[in-house]
Structure 1
Amino acid sequence: MAEEAEGSLKRLLVPFLLPEKCYDRFFIDLDLLDFPCLKILISKGLGLGIVAGSLLVKLPQVFKILGVKSAEGLSLQAFLLELVALTGTITYSVANSFPFSSWGEALFLMLQTITICFLILHYRGHTMRGVALLGIYVLILLVLLSPLMPKTVVTLLQATNRPAVIIGRLLQVITNYRNGHTGHLSAVTVFLLFAGSLARIFTSIQETGDPLMAVTFIVSSICNGLIAFQLLYYWNVSIPHKWEKKHQ
């Protein structure tokens, strides 16, 4: 019975959270302070936690837009650039066969981000443009994920992540500054994105060893931190009653 339980535990943990050598170190040798294996366990745990959390991280933003039936204060250009960055992460990670725990949240964030882009267009009276955006994006993503796509193109797209993230976040920062408030930005989403990007710095270094991925998340953390600061700064500022078309 004990052997069956041990076998079940091993199948559960290896290789999702631990390589076999670390499982043996923890559960057979009972060396619970093995630093290299602890780093792997923390990284894997954080990665899977971020992927799981990414299923919900932007839903508060989606629900807030739907609830108020407005995208006041949200920069469409910022979300589109974020979509470019997420797409680069997805395609680069798939092309390099990185573990899903190191990039899976980008997939779920991409789905939520394209939904927000559609809602922004919809509530600004451009529903058909939103539908066209969805169709065009799906086609582009399928092409980028195709085995026929040259790896140099995918690497170049990943290299554009940093400027895309910086420009996108700065556009939202500028929008907030000009408006004097953060509009209908969701505080839950903003702070979860900030925390997630900070954790991703560690997991990307630990799991991929790719400096390009690590730098992308460092830049993303700084930019997300700026927006989080603005959200706190403008916390008690009320949103003026302005019609959405003023921001078209």
Structure 2
Amino acid sequence: MNTDQSRSSELQTESLRCYKIPTLCQVPCLKIVLSKGLGIGIILGSVMVKLPQILKLMAAKSAEGLSFKSVLLELLAITGTMAYSIANKFPFSSWGEALFLMLQTVTIGFLIQKYGGRTGSGVVFLLVYFSLLLLLLSPVTPMAVVTSMQAFNMPAIIIGRLIQAATNFQNGHTGQLSAISVFLLFAGSLARIFTSIQETGDTLMALTYVISSACNGIIAMQVLFYWNQSPQTKQKKKKKRE
């Protein structure tokens, strides 16, 4: 058992002890209760965190401004976190939002393909992804592969967010990107830094959320910067210049 796994086991034991005899460890218990509360809140929020984005795409019947490559890299990071957490038997409250974010991100990926006139490619994308997910979560996948995926999360998150940021900068607007979803993801990743340290004691997990928070913060700042910009306003300005 490695150091992080031992730390995770100790934290879970401490959590059970605090639930049974809370007066023996007031400060640790307070942290555990706060962490559990935040974790449950994040999971409940994640059920609908990307729903505004999905509804916005469906209403506009357009995925303009969204990068499919960025979505793929985000999906890779989410899947890695989910598989790593399940393999290490981390409590559901420390990673549960990954399950709901995965389902919503897959939906967004499909919609990007569909509204780009590539519905067939979207269906293939769904089939390939869920087949690989089943393989990844099966006992035949070595722990080393799952750990490597979690380690790759950091560059995947950075590259994925930079691609989206570059797309926003190039377009001069955030297109169909949902401000609500962006801000909720930013807030959730910030809260996860604390809960991952408190509930898992896993350094790799905590560092992943630090990187994720920084990258989500960049996109959130772009949403604010381009708040009054849209494809329509940009087109109007272009016509005025002409």
The two structures have a TM-score, normalised by structure 1, of 0.86
Deviation at 1:23, TM superposition (A): 3.3
Q: Deviations over 1:105-124 (max 9, x none)?
A: 01100000000000000000
Counterparts of 1:53-202 in structure 2, within 5 Å, are 53-202=45-194
Equivalents in 1 of 2:53, 2:93: separation in Å? Answer: 24
Q: Deviations over 1:70-112 (max 9, x none)?
A: 1010011000100000110011111111111111101100000
Equivalents in 2 of 1:241, 1:140: separation in Å? Answer: 42
Q: Which residue of 1 aligns with 2:33?
A: 41
Counterparts of 1:21-32 in structure 2, within 5 Å, are 21-26=17-22, 29=23
Q: How many residues align?
A: 222
Equivalents in 1 of 2:100, 2:213: separation in Å? Answer: 18
For the 8 Å contact 1:25–1:34, the answer to whether it is kept is: no
Task: Please tell me the residue identity of whatever aligns with 1:23.
Answer: Y
For the 8 Å contact 1:162–1:216, the answer to whether it is kept is: yes
* SS of corresponding position for 2:220: helix
* SS of corresponding position for 1:160: helix
Q: Deviations over 1:180-224 (max 9, x none)?
A: 000010010000000000000000000110000000000000000
Distance 1:109 1:234, change over 3 A: same
| Larger helix share, 1 or 2 | 2
Task: Please tell me the residue identity of whatever aligns with 2:171.
Answer: N
RMSD over aligned CA atoms reads 1.7
Deviation at 1:148, TM superposition (A): 1.3
Equivalents in 2 of 1:46, 1:121: separation in Å? Answer: 34
Q: Deviations over 1:22-49 (max 9, x none)?
A: 23444xx5x8x91110000000110111
- By relative contact order (CA 8 Å, sep 6+), the higher-ranking structure is 2
Q: Which runs of 5+ in 1 are unaligned?
A: 1-15, 243-248
Query: Which runs of at least 4 in structure 1 moved beyond 2 Å after TM superposition?
Result: 18-26
Percent sequence identity over aligned pairs: 63
Q: Which runs of 5+ in 2 are unaligned?
A: 1-11, 235-242
